[in-house]
C-alpha cells in the first residue's frame, strides 16, 4: 500500500490550520458577515455548512470545502496517497477560488516529493450530487443489469 508518511500529514494539517483556513474565513467573512465570528477550531469541529446553491459561492467551491475538512482524522497510520491527492487537490482549488493562488503553490510544494495532487475534482464521486454537481456514471465494480442499462 502507498501510505502518506505521518510527518507529511502533520505538515499538511499545520499548513491548512495556519494559512488556508484563516484565508477561507476572511474570504467567506467578506461575503457572509457571520463567518467573521468563526475560528479555525470551529471549521475543524463543524466544517462548513453552506447551502449548495448559495451565491456567489460556486457549487464546486462548496464541494471542495466539504472535502477539505476530511483531514480532521489525520494523522492516520494507514492513510493512502489517493486520499491525500484528493484532499490537497481540494485545498489547491479552494486557494485558487478565493484568490490565494500562492497558498495553492505552497501546499503543492509541500507534497511534491511524495505525490502529485489531483488537479480536478473526481467527477465519479457520488458526493458531488449533494451539491447539485454532475456525477459521471461508474462502470467499475459489480452492478446489476438494470444499472448497466441491460
The domain limits of the chain are 6-131
The pLDDT, as a whole number, for residue 46 is: 79
Cα-to-chain-centroid distance, residue 63: 7
Q: Which residues pair with 80 in a beta bridge?
A: 3
75 burial (CB, 10 Å; 0-12 / 13-18 / 19+) is middle
The average pLDDT across 117-145 equals: 75
At 119 the three-state DSSP class reads coil
* From 26-40, 58-72, 98-112, the region with the lowest mean pLDDT: 58-72
Is the pTM higher than 0.75? The answer reads yes
Q: Nearest CA to 43 among 6, 13, 80?
A: 13
52-74 per-position pLDDT tens digit: 567 778 888 988 998 888 776 67
CA distances from 49 to 11, 36, 64, 66, 79 (A): 26, 15, 12, 8, 26
The pLDDT of residue 76 is: 75
In this prediction, residue 112 has a pLDDT band, given cuts at 50, 70 and 90, of: very high
The residue among 82 and 76 whose pLDDT is bigger is 82
Encode pLDDT of 2-13 as tens digits.
Answer: 889 999 999 998
Of the candidates 71, 64, 37, the one whose C-alpha atom is nearest the C-alpha of residue 50 is 64
Structure confidence at residue 25 as a pLDDT band (50, 70, 90): very high
Amino acid at each position: 500500500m502507498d501510505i502518506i508518511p505521518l510527518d507529511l500529514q502533520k505538515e499538511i494539517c499545520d499548513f491548512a490550520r495556519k494559512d488556508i483556513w484563516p484565508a477561507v474565513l476572511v474570504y467567506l467573512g467578506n461575503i457572509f458577515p457571520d463567518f467573521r465570528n468563526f475560528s479555525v477550531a470551529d471549521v475543524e469541529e463543524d466544517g462548513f455548512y453552506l447551502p449548495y446553491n448559495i451565491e456567489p459561492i460556486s457549487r464546486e467551491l462548496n464541494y471542495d470545502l466539504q472535502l477539505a475538512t476530511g483531514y480532521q482524522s489525520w494523522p492516520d497510520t494507514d492513510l493512502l496517497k489517493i486520499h491525500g491527492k484528493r484532499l490537497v487537490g481540494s485545498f489547491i482549488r479552494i486557494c485558487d477560488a478565493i484568490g490565494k493562488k500562492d497558498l495553492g503553490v505552497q501546499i503543492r510544494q509541500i507534497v511534491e516529493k511524495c505525490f502529485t495532487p489531483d488537479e480536478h475534482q473526481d467527477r465519479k464521486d457520488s458526493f458531488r450530487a449533494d451539491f447539485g454537481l454532475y456525477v459521471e456514471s461508474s462502470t467499475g465494480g459489480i452492478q446489476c443489469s438494470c444499472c448497466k442499462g441491460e
